[in-house]
Amino acid sequence: MSAEQEQMDQFERLLELGFLRERRKEMKRRLQFEEHYIERLTSPKIEYPKGIKFQKTTSADFDKIKFRGATRILEEKRQAKIKKIKNYMIFIALIVIALAAVLYYFSE
Amino acid sequence: MTELELLRNDAHYYTIVYRQHRAVVYQHLKQFTNDEAYLADLFQDAIIVLFEKARDPEFTLTCSVRTYLIAICRNQIFKRAGRTPEIVSLEGEPTNYNDWLGNQVEIERKKSQLDRLDAALREFEYMAKKCYELLYRFFYMKESFELIAKVMGYTNADNAKNQKARCQKKLRELYLEEK
């Protein structure tokens, strides 16, 4: 194995670890939030609001995945395609019905 | 759908697993310590181990998720106490979390390099958004080249693979400049 290839492999491993660290951090943060949320539910304390009253942290604030999952995107595309085909078919059916009605009217 | 399948298919299902099993696992672990913060830390790490394992398609669970989580927590207690980990095996499946721990140790050892890589990645995200997305999908979201090719508009998986190599090379140059 050439030295350059070895360096590239080392960098790939570093990249892998970098993203792994990021994912673990995100998960840990979110789970810590869950823990805090459960604690507040099980032993509620009276909290006197200070400053901004209606700014709440929700679990959705911890979803830091930057891009939507590929399977989800592809599924959405598939559904959009199906919907488009359905619309075309309805449109064609309506035209056929209208034509049939016109033909029936003139045939009498 | 089993819990393992739900974990595989839903990126956020682990929070539900956390809520479902928390009380029972804590109850079981209270024989070792009553420190709630320590227990929470253990349990959170166990959930992360389970989630990462679930992502591996070859991973199968022969026991219940709860038993598995308890076993990981117990192994962690022994490991953190500096004792030889008692590998709690479950019906022929060792719930050794050494590979997870191995990665964690490596992450801590390479902290300065990883911090520098983070800085390079932030710049890279701004500079080459598409390349960043490709790398993010591959390394963070663990998507296959086939899926990446479909969703990012590459002609096939090989093309996406070649593109990944090019992006990685570009990022490496940026990383070396950061030095």
pLDDT digits (tens, 9 = 90+) for B164-174: 999 999 999 99
CB atoms within 10 A of CB B63: 14
- Does B130 share its domain with B158? yes
B88 pLDDT more than 60: no
Residue A25: other Cβ atoms inside 10 A: 11
A61 and A72 housed in the same domain: no
Q: Does the pLDDT of residue A65 top 70, yes or no?
A: no
Cβ contact B123:B174 at 8 Å = yes
What is the predicted pLDDT for the residue at B116? Answer: 92
- Residue B46 shares a structural domain with residue B69: yes
Q: Are residues B100 and B118 in the same domain?
A: no
Q: Averaged over A61-71, what is the pLDDT?
A: 68
For chain A, say whether B136 makes contact (Cβ under 8 Å). Answer: yes
What digits encode the pLDDT tens for the residues A14-62?
Answer: 999 999 999 899 889 989 998 888 888 887 776 666 665 555 555 555 5
| Closest in A17, A35, A70 to B137, CB measured | A70
| Alpha helices per DSSP H over A43-69 | none
- CB A70 to CB B147 under 8 A? yes
Interface mutation vs chain B, best among A12, A35, A39, A42, most B CBs within 10 Å: A35
B74 & B96 share domain: yes
Range of the domain at A7: 1-66
B121 and B43 both lie in a single domain: no
Q: Which of B5, B7, B12 to mutate to test the interface with A (most CBs of A within 10 A)?
A: B12
In chain A, the number of structural domains is 2
| Per-residue confidence (pLDDT) for residue B83, from 0 to 100 | 61
| B5 burial type by CB count under 10 A (0-12 exposed, 13-18 middle, 19+ buried) | exposed
Same domain, B28 and B83: yes
Task: Give this prediction's pTM.
Answer: 0.77
pLDDT over 90, % of chain B: 34
One-letter amino acid for residue B139 of the chain? F
Q: Look up the ipTM and state it.
A: 0.84
Facing residue for B133 by CB, picked from A30, A31, A67: A67
CA neighbor of B23 nearest in space, from B41, B11, B35, B40: B40
The answer to whether the beta carbons of residues B152 and B134 sit under 8 Å apart is: yes
- Tell me how many domains chain B contains: 2
Chain B neighbors of A64, CB-CB under 8 A: none
Lowest mean pLDDT among A23-32, A53-62, B91-100, B107-116: A53-62
Domain with B129, as residue range(s), is 110-178
pLDDT score of B89: 54
Shared domain check, A62 and A11: yes
Residue of A11, A34, A63 lying closest to B18 (CB–CB): A34
